[in-house]
Amino acid sequence: MSHPQIAAFARLAKENTPALRALEGQKTLLSRTMHGLAFDEVNDEIVVTSPLAQAILTFRGGATGEEPPLRIIQGTRTQILGDAYSALDKVSVDGVNNEIYLPLGNGQSGERRSGTGVLPGILVFDRMANGNVEPKRILKGPRTQIVGNKPPVAIDPLRNLVVVNLNNAFLIFDRTASGDVAPKRVIRGPRSQAGSTGNFRVHSPTGMIVSRCTGDAVCAWSITDDGDAPPRYRLPVKQLTDYRISGLALDPAHKEVLFSVAGWGEGDYPKSGIMNAVLTFSWPEIFE
């Protein structure tokens, strides 16, 4: 029987290569429906949500076995809400400015049962926060255009910008934006090929926004783009591999992009028959 764990593999691992280590067990407090995590390369830490416990857990980057978290953000003052139905499955970390970003959405908590609802928005915590602490700021309101359920977030610490993806658009804000403020720029429109995705990345040195786009491809835009701007680069992943992308990560040191992929149901299985995999592409242009 499978159980919650975070497994680490060698960068050059291939088919059926066993994990180098796994973080798992009761003391880790890992739980089901944890579909995303963030790695803080500046401070060598792993940040992950615990949806059933309505918490954010931070581990050592090299954590293994039944190792407890270094810090836990949890409690009524945090305004973190999540349950088995909607889950808090996205989190981002800015190791340069020592902040953790947690998106909320209108599918959170008791809304399905009580109808009370939770307005979508972004909670921002101090990276070193521990216990029942309040967010340092909240980005939320009609002027932000943040609507829907748990939009993914990426940060550009060099330009002091934060990017939110939803409704086939990228909303670009000042990093310290708080309350009900309008985005500085919005990338949206048919020429942009922008889509909605579960996660995306910003490569801060080049300012490239890298994300799944229309046609089950991956596109890269400049964070300075605005309006219906076409992507600077496009990689037709589905056409090349038969897989649809569910997540991505960047490896700037080796100028590579990694994709978690899967078959998405009957009629959309890869020809290989292998349902879950990680694909690695060399894509030097977006890092230069």
Helices (H) and strands (E) in the chain, counts: 2, 21
165 inside domain: no
As a whole number of angstroms, the distance between CA 108 and CA 114 comes to 11
35 inside domain: yes
92 inside domain: yes
Could you tell me the residue range of the domain that residue 98 belongs to? 1-8+19-133
Supply the pTM of this predicted model. 0.89
Number of domains the chain contains? 1
91 inside domain: yes
Q: What is the pLDDT of residue 133?
A: 96
Q: How far is CA 34 from CA 8, 48, 119, 199, in A?
A: 16, 7, 22, 13
233 inside domain: no
Residue 47's Cβ-side half-sphere holds a number of Cα atoms within 13 Å equal to: 27
Q: What is the pLDDT of residue 116?
A: 40
215 inside domain: no
247 inside domain: no
153 inside domain: no
Q: What is the pLDDT of residue 88?
A: 73
pLDDT < 50: residue spans in the chain: 1, 107-117
As a whole number of angstroms, the distance between CA 161 and CA 141 comes to 18
Any alpha helices (H) in the chain, and if so which ranges?
111-114, 237-241
Q: What is the pLDDT of residue 112?
A: 39
Q: What is the pLDDT of residue 143?
A: 95
